[in-house]
Amino acid sequence: MTIEEIQNEIIDEFSMFEDWEERYQYMIDLGKTLPLIQEQFKTDDHIIKGCQSKVWVHAEMNDDKVEFTADSDAIITKGIIAILIRAFSNQHPKDIIEANTDFIDKIGLKEHLSPTRANGLVSMIKQLKMYAIAYQTQLN
Amino acid sequence: MKVETPFNAEVIRKDFPILNRKVNGKPLIYLDNAATSQTPQKVIDAIVDYYSNYNANIHRGVHALSQEATDAYEQARIKIQKHFNAAKAYEIIFTSGTTHGINLVANGFSSLLKKGDEIIVSALEHHSNIVPWQMLCEKTGAALKVIPMDTNGELVLSEFNKLLNQNTKLVFVNHISNALGTINPIEPIIEKAHNVGAAVLIDGAQSCPHIKPDVQALDADFYVCSAHKICGPTGIGMLYGKEEWLKKLPPYQGGGEMIAEVTFEKTTYADLPHKFEAGTPNVCGGIAFGAAIDYMNAIGFDAIAQYENELLVYATQKLQKIEGLTIYGTATHKTSVISFNVGNIHPYDIGTILDKMGIAVRTGHHCAQPIMDFYKIPGTIRASFMFYNTKEEIDIFIASLKKAIMMLS
């Protein structure tokens, strides 16, 4: 599936939730169930510092596709990361670079991507794109 | 016969337009008062009146508006002087806030300190009360010493006694800790510091909304605070300094207002307080600061302290009943601030869910990382109450917190 197709799938899923509680409960459950990153990568080299919650990101390229793993010490942040990873992981670097993140707005989580929000998510998306740019350079 | 008006938070709440608003569809419950307090209509009116009727640059103009603005600004200074019981109006310096006041003093001391001198700060300090002294120490070669705290969040005074010596030149302590709400015993700290000839700066950012400090009775050399913590606007605060100290310190910034005479060879500085107020000041802010002081005094600080303590006790008892909840900072003397965590739940998660329910709390390290390191936690959830909060709001806060815990567990 393309990034856009996955994003549309996520939008469809979220459209079934009736209120914020269901949305957040879903994200919390996502955050709880997913092991997102191997412990060996939870080091300072992989950390993206938000003011309050920590985010770790690791990237690898296999068969010209970038695979991301990530984690956070806050569970709601982790839930959102799970959604982002689902959209961007296992994709060609060029597609990651060009992808937009409007779907976050459409699923009612826009507030988490405000640059002033102290959760490190904006920096995380930047970091995902930086990895993609780096791998794209290798391919060229 | 004088009839005491009973304290009525429901009536007082009507003074604050913002308390009528909704957040995420729910009535706002504002429990982030230690970060900034809300603004009563009287203060908003003072701001609107200034810009509607007499906005002008001050101290130099010969025209009517300038004269009116100058009078109102200097009247505000006198209100602040009386409130803090400073001996002279010119001992009150308008600043942009507490941080500015601290930096002004730190900068002033850079010309008074030398290698071997010592500065003492407390372990309960806000970052703004640590960094300027570290910078000062780097510049002068002075050493920074720290008064340790215990697990209740109280300063260990016996250790403070050991740190004091003839080399101690400055002691900096907050009156009330922003992260834990501890009311520090500043009276003995000031007295002991003076016994070795050291000056004392008290950070009153957290105390001024709850206590009416008497700087002369305390014998503080410097006292700083911000207006936005006491129902005033942001961007304005005050530094009180004893006249003898303010005369000793060199000016902080160069510019208009702070000079007496300028030639290319030499400038002589203006007298106090203008020596420290370079450039066009925050005239409107100063006037509104004065209006905030009037507003708070009309309610009365004794009534405020008594009511806020009721809120503190009520909320503490309710919180203590929640399983897995730990309160940080259990000092005997504390103000209406409760810092806590629930089990292993990240404070950020709880804060996010509470926000969805219209409740504003602070989460994180509260710019006091050394305190978080002491307790070995990433941060806390901090609920801080003001006289316009109610027990009903605390009930909703507790119910919402329980719901957040349920969702996150």
Question: Model confidence over B189-212: pLDDT tens digits?
Answer: 999 999 999 999 999 999 999 999
Residue B3 resides in a domain: no
DSSP B17: G
Beta strands in B252-374 (DSSP E): 259-262, 267-269, 325-328, 337-342, 359-360, 362-364
What pLDDT, on the 0 to 100 scale, is given for residue A113? 66
Q: Please compute the mean of the pLDDT values over residues A5-17 and round it to a whole number.
A: 93
Higher pLDDT among residues B354 and A74, named by residue: B354
Best-predicted range by mean pLDDT among B13-27, B122-136, B240-254?
A: B13-27
Q: Does B358 touch chain A (CB under 8 A)?
A: no
Considering only CB atoms, which chain B residues are within 8 Å of A75? 345-346, 349, 408
pTM score of the predicted model: 0.91
A window 17-46, beta carbon within 8 A of B: 20-21, 24-25, 28
* Residue A51 appears among annotated catalytic residues: yes
Q: What class, spelled out in words, does domain A3-139 have in CATH?
A: alpha beta
Are residues B369 and B325 located together in one domain of the fold? yes
Please indicate whether, in this complex, the C-beta atoms of A76 and B363 are within 8 angstroms of each other. Answer: no
Handedness of CA B33, B36, B41, B46 (dihedral sign): positive
Q: How many domains does chain B have?
A: 2
Considering only CB atoms, which chain B residues are within 8 Å of A21? 356, 407
Residue B2 resides in a domain: no
Are residues B227 and B368 located together in one domain of the fold? no
Q: Does A114 touch chain B (CB under 8 A)?
A: no
Q: Does B13 touch chain A (CB under 8 A)?
A: no
Domain boundary among B266, B297, B328: B297
Are residues B200 and B283 located together in one domain of the fold? yes
Question: Model confidence over B226-273: pLDDT tens digits?
Answer: 999 999 999 999 999 999 999 999 888 776 667 777 777 777 777 889
Considering only CB atoms, which chain A residues are within 8 Å of B352? 24, 76
Interface test with chain B among A19, A22, A24, A112, by most B beta carbons within 10 Å = A24
> Is the predicted pLDDT of residue A88 greater than 60, yes or no?
yes
Q: Provide the CATH number for the domain around residue B377.
A: 3.90.1150.10
Residue carrying the six token digits 């500065």: B119
Are residues B150 and B232 located together in one domain of the fold? yes
Q: List CB contacts of B401: < 8 A, sequence separation 6 or more.
A: B319, B322, B342, B350, B354
Are residues B232 and B109 located together in one domain of the fold? yes
CA A116 distance to own-chain centroid: 18
Nearest chain B residue to A19, by CA: B356
SS3 B126: coil
* Kind plus residue range of the DSSP H or E element containing B283: helix B283-299
Residue carrying the six token digits 């300038």: B66
- Partnered with residue A54 across adjacent β-strands are A49
User: What residues of B are annotated to the active site?
Assistant: 367
What pLDDT, on the 0 to 100 scale, is given for residue A118? 59
Q: Which two tokens stand for residue A44?
A: 């300072």
Are residues B233 and B373 located together in one domain of the fold? no
Give the number of residues written for chain A: 140
Crossing angle for the helix pair B347-356 and A75-88, nearest 10 degrees? 90
Are residues B148 and B86 located together in one domain of the fold? yes
Domain of B330 in residue numbering reads as: 9-39+301-408
What pLDDT, on the 0 to 100 scale, is given for residue B139? 93
What pLDDT, on the 0 to 100 scale, is given for residue B234? 98
Please indicate whether, in this complex, the C-beta atoms of B364 and A118 are within 8 angstroms of each other. Answer: yes
